[in-house]
């Protein structure tokens, strides 16, 4: 019995447009120059030595001044009305600069989850204990899009968008429970960027099944414990909810959908961030290969290094095509999205790690020092490869999606 | 407009009742052969990506194709070079029968002493009447690894016309008549057992000056067009998902559950991921070409293609186990030397695919040379040390 692999988006004549538009290049240029100016490596490193790696001024410049937080949010909800394609270009630049900003977690994952939450669910306020301001999903989205508030999805950063189980609700987290009075109790470990979030979006189990809540990050009953994180530029927290007041945003399938969409769009755009990380590592390496001499020759003239640099460049060229395809698919809600995203994560994770590891090796001793930025990229790349599903998990997901089943 | 043209072609030449060659010629004349070529030369000056619309519509109507596996060198290398550097007369003479497959082309570049270092080649071409600007050329030398020379009517040829200048500067590019006197083709058997390539001995072979492509001494620049296109042709072709060798392996996996193991599953999906990444990269490369940018991804696409084809075909033999021990040659059921008329990397048996893939990292520029090209021309790393670059060719150790 053989069913061919699904081949939807790839079916039209020219295929999806994988190039960058002029608009995207303009956006890239303004983000890049702002980050070069406001978030150079030495500033990132200096901040990483403190408990507060995030520079609120840089985040405000990116999110609000350049309008990047609301790129994919429709204009009627207060956003820029662009798409995940443009947001992916921002993710590339954020990766390129290893800037500690909650762009991926807030402007991509949390925002995508909210955009997917059926707005009707927000009307249910019976169990909301937050009397002061029961915001709707729309109001929250408007705040996020304007850069007035930051939200993150309260799930372990390692969560995979395509859980191995089947059926709706499979893999829905159960570590947080909804109490009888509608408050939340439980723990979530390894939540990325939670320390600077204003709002936590929490998937939780109610008696009736999956539900999706907004919780004030500084509300009573919420504790965020900083974790010493492998990635210095994207910190994790363990979060404890002890009868924390919560606003219900979605129920049942709506909650499952919001979570899945957040993780899916996140995984798609993480690939672009990884592309930016890899490109930065290659650029840094090539620059060094052209300036460092040993044995009376530039080290870049040795084929042992030259050929590895060429191979890396070729792999990054492929990562770019793959990351663009994932961004295009989530932007257009293409039916090939699950394949595109699993492919992007299976491929770009490994390329970014390889680029960062080579970057250290190309630099010799200096690349092993704390002062050199190579380790910021290595830590970002390795952590990112574990985030939102490992390459192996995504390969397994692909096996299910394209009908290449495992051995019995 | 495109659809109207397709319809007019099919109405005027119903595939069911039109002889194959007549249909192909009519297709060429209506500009639907290669739409990105100029009008009058088989094209419409249209974006390259529209070709797929034409191909699909004609295939759906049951029209014959031009059997591209038989004429790959003509389509992928000779045609773009003739288009870029040929005279109007040369384009009109050569392109139509090239595309219809009436005339097969081969590539007389490599020599026993000049492979990667192609510019060092020794085959010489001299004017029959020195000083006469229109004189015929007389060519003498030996070429090697010439794929499909046994089928070819024409060859693209590089020869040395001036030994007194450094090696890159004394070359000229020609079209050589493979049926003329002084051209001898001898089969060279390769690791698959068959003889897809040949040695070609040129002994005072005559080439009219009208078959020179580009100026005298400009052969290296003209050859760059051929080589760039060769790499895109090998690594950058349009494929559906699971086109090529990965599709063959995926089908085996689906149809034969008894072959599956847990370790092989992860390897298969890793290869599937890489094949799909390579396919999307080729798509992006073609979009860059259509948008005007040359896109240095051409060499990278060929580099990735070679490695992947080798890995996948090796994996296929592992997967087949006992069956992989048995060499399933194509027609004779033995290692008998055949003279194939087509080349299809994804065709025939698993053993053939494994062996044939080994050529992918050698033909069209070895993987090492492609890495040099990417490192130097794309990344700007220091060039290889070239001790012979400025020395007149005649003074080099031969
Ligand atoms: C299946 C097949 C079909 C072919 N068809 C044709 C054809 O139709 N027409 C044609 O003209 N030719 C054809 N070729 C020839 C092909 O282009 C040459 O074999 C190729 O360019 C390599 O040249 P060579 O064989 O002389 O090897 P060499 O150049 O001697 O290379 C030997 C080894 O040295 C390495 N090497 C050489 N120089 C360097 C360097 N500077 N840095 C690092 N490593 C280096 C090479 O990568 C290789 O590993 C074909 C080859 C094959 C295998």
| DSSP secondary structure letters along B242-289 | T-SHHHHHHHHHHH-GGG--HHHHHHHHHHHHHHHHHHHHHHHHHHHH
Q: Are residues B5 and B131 in the same domain?
A: no
Tell me, what's the pLDDT at B41? 97
Q: Are residues B358 and B259 in the same domain?
A: yes
Tell me if B175 is assigned to some domain: yes
Q: Are residues B371 and B228 in the same domain?
A: yes
Tell me, what's the pLDDT at B292? 62
Task: Note down the domain range covering B41.
Answer: 1-65
- Distances in Å between the Cα of A266 and the Cα atoms of A272, A317, A333, B17, B220 are 10, 21, 14, 56, 49
Is the Cβ pair A5, B242 closer than 8 Å? Answer: yes
Q: Which two tokens stand for residue B89?
A: 């007369």
A406 interface with B at CB cutoff 8 Å:
yes
Say how far apart CA A373 and CA B209 lie, in whole Å: 61
Tell me, what's the pLDDT at B144? 97
| Alpha-helix runs per DSSP H in A196-336 | 252-289, 303-332
pLDDT (tens digit per residue) in A236-272: 999 999 999 999 999 999 999 999 999 999 999 999 9
**pLDDT of B12 strictly over 70:** yes
Give the 3-state secondary structure of residue B124: strand
Q: Are residues B228 and B309 in the same domain?
A: yes
Per-residue pLDDT band at A1 (split at 50, 70, 90): very low
- As assigned by CATH, the class of the A8-150 domain is mainly alpha
Across B50-76, average pLDDT: 93
Tell me, what's the pLDDT at B341? 82
A306 interface with B at CB cutoff 8 Å:
yes
Tell me if B395 is assigned to some domain: no
Tell me, what's the pLDDT at A169? 58
Q: Is the CB of B359 under 6 A from ligand 1?
A: yes
- Distances in Å between the Cα of A13 and the Cα atoms of A31, A38, A271, B54, B180 are 33, 43, 25, 10, 43
Q: Is the CB of B362 under 6 A from ligand 1?
A: yes
Tell me if B73 is assigned to some domain: no
Tell me if B28 is assigned to some domain: yes
B54 interface with A at CB cutoff 8 Å:
no
Q: Which two tokens stand for residue B267?
A: 């390897």
**pLDDT of A130 strictly over 50:** no
Q: Are residues B305 and B171 in the same domain?
A: no
Across B159-163, average pLDDT: 98
Sequence-distant (6+) residues with CB within 8 A of A366 are A372
B142, B112 Cβ separation under 8 angstroms: yes
CA angle at A342 for the pair A336 and A345, rounded to the nearest 5°? 135
Per-residue pLDDT band at A165 (split at 50, 70, 90): low
Is the Cβ pair A347, B277 closer than 8 Å? Answer: yes
A350, A358 Cβ separation under 8 angstroms: no
Tell me, what's the pLDDT at A194? 97
Q: Which two tokens stand for residue B80?
A: 């773009």
A267, A389 Cβ separation under 8 angstroms: yes
Q: Are residues B369 and B228 in the same domain?
A: yes
B348, B330 Cβ separation under 8 angstroms: yes
Pairing mode, if any, of strands A236-244 and A184-192?
A: antiparallel
Q: How far B118 CA sits from the closest chain A CA (Å)?
A: 20
**pLDDT of A139 strictly over 60:** yes
Across B37-49, average pLDDT: 92
Torsions phi, psi for B123 (to 5 deg): -55, 130
Of A287, A210, A294, nearest to A249 by C-alpha is A210
Say how far apart CA B94 and CA B209 lie, in whole Å: 15
Cα B220 → chain centroid: 18
Across B189-207, average pLDDT: 93
Tell me if B272 is assigned to some domain: yes
Is the Cβ pair A313, B379 closer than 8 Å? Answer: yes
Chain B partners within 8 Å of A406 (Cβ): 260, 262, 265
Q: Are the folds of A176-253 and A256-401 the same?
A: no
Of A14, A144, A29, nearest to A78 by C-alpha is A144
B190 interface with A at CB cutoff 8 Å:
no
**pLDDT of A134 strictly over 60:** no
Across B78-107, average pLDDT: 97
- Whole-structure pTM value: 0.90
Question: Out of B264, B273, B371, whose CB is closest to A307?
Answer: B371
How many C-beta neighbours within 10 Å does residue B95 have? 25
Domain limit, last residue, from B217, B234, B259: B217
Active site residues of B: 230
Residue with tokens 């040379």: B369
Say how far apart CA A327 and CA A344 lie, in whole Å: 9
Say how far apart CA A357 and CA A350 lie, in whole Å: 11
- Domain of B140, CATH number, reads 2.40.110.10
pLDDT (tens digit per residue) in A209-225: 999 999 999 999 999 99
Chain B partners within 8 Å of A10 (Cβ): 240-241, 279, 283
- Domain of B342, CATH number, reads 1.20.140.10
Per-residue pLDDT band at B295 (split at 50, 70, 90): low
The residue whose CA has the least distance to atom 25 of ligand 1 is B115
Q: Which two tokens stand for residue A248?
A: 């219900």
**pLDDT of A84 strictly over 80:** yes
Sequence-distant (6+) residues with CB within 8 A of B102 are B21
Tell me if B303 is assigned to some domain: yes
pLDDT (tens digit per residue) in B229-253: 888 877 777 788 999 999 999 999 9
Residues A176-253, CATH architecture: Beta Barrel (2.40)
Q: Are residues B22 and B164 in the same domain?
A: no
- Distances in Å between the Cα of A105 and the Cα atoms of A223, A256, A337 are 19, 18, 20
Chain B partners within 8 Å of A14 (Cβ): 47, 49, 52, 283, 286-287, 290
Q: Are residues B211 and B249 in the same domain?
A: no
Share of chain A above pLDDT 70, in %: 90
Torsions phi, psi for B183 (to 5 deg): -115, 115
**pLDDT of A129 strictly over 60:** no
Q: Which of A331-335, A379-383, B299-303, B306-310 has the lowest mean pLDDT?
A: B299-303
Pairing mode, if any, of strands A247-251 and A297-298?
A: unpaired
Residue with tokens 């192996």: A392
Atom of ligand 1 nearest to the CA of B148: 8
Q: Are residues B213 and B114 in the same domain?
A: yes
Tell me, what's the pLDDT at A191? 98
Q: Are residues B257 and B366 in the same domain?
A: yes
Query: Which residue would you say has higher pLDDT here, B110 or B297?
Result: B110
Q: Are residues B49 and B109 in the same domain?
A: no
Tell me, what's the pLDDT at A170? 65
Q: Is the CB of B197 under 6 A from ligand 1?
A: yes
Query: Which residue would you say has higher pLDDT here, B290 or A353?
Result: A353
Is the Cβ pair B261, A13 closer than 8 Å? Answer: no
**pLDDT of A125 strictly over 80:** no
Question: What's the total number of domains in chain B?
Answer: 3
**pLDDT of B333 strictly over 90:** no
Question: Out of A1, A314, A395, whose CB is closest to B300?
Answer: A314
Domain ranges of chain A: 8-150, 176-253, 256-401
Per-residue pLDDT band at A59 (split at 50, 70, 90): very high
**pLDDT of A115 strictly over 90:** yes
Give the 3-state secondary structure of residue B182: coil
Tell me, what's the pLDDT at A121? 42
Residue with tokens 């947080």: A176
Tell me if B98 is assigned to some domain: no
Q: Are residues B192 and B115 in the same domain?
A: yes
CA angle at B35 for the pair B34 and B41, rounded to the nearest 5°? 70
Length of chain A: 408
Is the Cβ pair B381, A399 closer than 8 Å? Answer: no
Per-residue pLDDT band at B342 (split at 50, 70, 90): confident
Q: How far B271 CA sits from the closest chain A CA (Å)?
A: 10
Tell me, what's the pLDDT at A9? 37
A256-401: CATH topology is Butyryl-CoA Dehydrogenase, subunit A; domain 3 (1.20.140)
Say how far apart CA A170 and CA B310 lie, in whole Å: 39
DSSP letter at A70 equals: T
A298 interface with B at CB cutoff 8 Å:
yes
Tell me, what's the pLDDT at B339? 81
Chain A partners within 8 Å of B308 (Cβ): none
pLDDT (tens digit per residue) in B100-152: 999 999 999 999 999 999 999 999 999 999 989 999 999 999 999 999 999 99
Of B155, B145, B72, B161, nearest to B110 by C-alpha is B145
Share of chain B above pLDDT 70, in %: 97
Q: What is the ipTM of this complex?
A: 0.86
Say how far apart CA B73 and CA B78 lie, in whole Å: 6
Say how far apart CA B326 and CA B308 lie, in whole Å: 23
Q: Which two tokens stand for residue A19?
A: 């190039």
A164 interface with B at CB cutoff 8 Å:
no
Q: Which two tokens stand for residue A366?
A: 């200096």
pLDDT (tens digit per residue) in A177-218: 999 999 999 999 999 999 999 999 999 999 999 999 999 999
Chain B partners within 8 Å of A408 (Cβ): 257, 260
Length of chain B: 398
């Amino acid at each position: 019995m053989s069913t061919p692999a699904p081949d939807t988006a790839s079916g039209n004549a020219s295929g999806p447009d994988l190039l960058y538009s002029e608009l995207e290049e303009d956006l890239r240029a303004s983000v890049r120059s702002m980050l070069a100016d406001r978030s150079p490596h030495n500033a990132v490193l200096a901040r990483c030595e403190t408990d507060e790696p995030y520079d609120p001024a840089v985040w405000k410049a990116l999110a609000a001044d350049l309008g990047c937080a609301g790129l994919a949010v429709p204009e009627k909800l207060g956003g820029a009305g662009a798409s995940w394609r443009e947001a992916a270009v921002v993710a590339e630049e954020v990766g390129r600069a290893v800037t500690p900003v909650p762009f991926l977690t807030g402007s991509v994952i949390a925002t995508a989850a909210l955009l997917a939450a059926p707005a009707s669910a927000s009307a249910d306020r019976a169990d909301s204990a937050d009397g002061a301001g029961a915001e709707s999903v729309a109001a929250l989205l408007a705040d996020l899009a304007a850069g007035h508030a930051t939200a993150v999805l309260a799930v372990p950063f390692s969560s995979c968008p395509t859980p191995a189980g089947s059926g709706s609700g499979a893999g829905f987290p159960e570590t947080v429970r909804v109490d009888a009075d509608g408050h939340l109790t439980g723990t979530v470990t390894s939540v990325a960027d939670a320390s600077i979030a204003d709002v936590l979006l929490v998937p939780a189990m109610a008696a009736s099944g999956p539900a999706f809540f907004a919780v004030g990050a500084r509300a009573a009953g919420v504790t965020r414990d900083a974790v010493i994180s492998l990635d210095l530029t994207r910190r994790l927290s363990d979060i404890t909810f002890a009868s924390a007041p919560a606003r219900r945003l979605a129920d049942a399938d709506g909650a499952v959908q919001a979570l899945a969409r957040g993780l899916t769009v996140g995984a798609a755009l993480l690939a672009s961030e990884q592309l930016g990380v890899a490109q930065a590592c290659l650029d840094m390496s090539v620059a060094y290969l052209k300036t460092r001499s040993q044995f009376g020759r530039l080290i870049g003239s040795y084929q042992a290094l030259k050929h590895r640099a060429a191979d890396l460049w070729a792999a990054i060229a492929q990562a770019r095509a793959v990351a663009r395809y994932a961004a295009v698919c989530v932007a257009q809600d293409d039916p090939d999205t699950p394949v595109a995203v699993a492919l992007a994560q299976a491929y770009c994770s490994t390329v970014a790690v390889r680029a960062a590891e080579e970057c250290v090796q190309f630099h010799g001793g200096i690349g092993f020092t704390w002062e050199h930025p190579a380790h910021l990229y290595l830590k970002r790349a390795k952590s990112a490869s574990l985030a939102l599903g490992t390459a192996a998990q995504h390969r397994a997901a692909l096996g299910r999606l394209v009908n290449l089943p495992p051995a019995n | 407009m495109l659809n109207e043209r397709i319809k007019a072609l099919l109405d005027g030449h119903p595939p069911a009742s039109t002889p194959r060659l007549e249909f192909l010629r009519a297709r060429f004349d209506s500009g639907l052969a290669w739409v990105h070529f100029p009008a009058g030369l088989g094209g419409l000056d249209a974006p390259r990506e529209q070709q797929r619309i034409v191909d699909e519509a004609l295939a759906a109507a049951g029209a014959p194709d031009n059997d591209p596996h038989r004429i790959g060198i003509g389509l992928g290398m000779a045609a773009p070079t003739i288009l870029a550097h040929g005279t109007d007369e040369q384009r009109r003479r050569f392109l139509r029968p090239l595309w219809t497959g009436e005339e097969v082309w081969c590539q007389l570049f490599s020599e026993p002493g000049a492979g990667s270092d192609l510019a060092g080649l020794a085959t010489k071409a001299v004017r029959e009447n020195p000083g006469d600007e229109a004189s015929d050329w007389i060519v003498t030398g030996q070429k090697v690894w010439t794929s499909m020379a046994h089928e070819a009517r024409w060859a693209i040829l590089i020869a040395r016309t001036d030994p007194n200048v450094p090696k890159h500067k004394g070359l000229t590019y020609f079209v050589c008549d493979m049926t003329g006197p002084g051209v001898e083709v001898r089969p060279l058997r390769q690791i698959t057992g068959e003889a897809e390539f040949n040695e070609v001995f040129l002994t005072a072979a005559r080439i009219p000056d009208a078959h020179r492509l580009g100026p005298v001494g400009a052969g290296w620049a003209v050859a760059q067009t051929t080589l760039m296109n060769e790499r895109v042709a090998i690594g950058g072709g349009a494929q559906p998902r699971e086109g090529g060798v990965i599709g063959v392996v995926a089908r085996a996996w689906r149809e034969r559950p008894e072959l599956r193991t847990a370790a092989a599953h992860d390897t298969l999906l890793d290869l599937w991921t890489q094949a799909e990444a390579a396919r999307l990269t080729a798509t992006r490369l073609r979009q860059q070409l259509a948008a005007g940018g040359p896109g240095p991804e051409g060499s990278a696409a060929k580099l990735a293609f070679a490695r992947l084809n080798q890995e996948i075909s090796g994996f296929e033999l592992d997967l087949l186990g006992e069956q992989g021990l048995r060499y399933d040659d194509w027609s004779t059921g033995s290692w008998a030397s055949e003279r194939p008329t087509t080349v299809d990397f994804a065709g025939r048996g698993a053993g053939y695919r494994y062996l044939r893939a080994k050529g992918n990292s050698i033909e069209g520029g070895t993987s090492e040379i492609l890495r040099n090209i990417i490192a130097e021309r794309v990344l700007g790393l220091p060039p290889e040390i070239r001790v012979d670059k400025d020395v007149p060719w005649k003074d080099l150790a031969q």
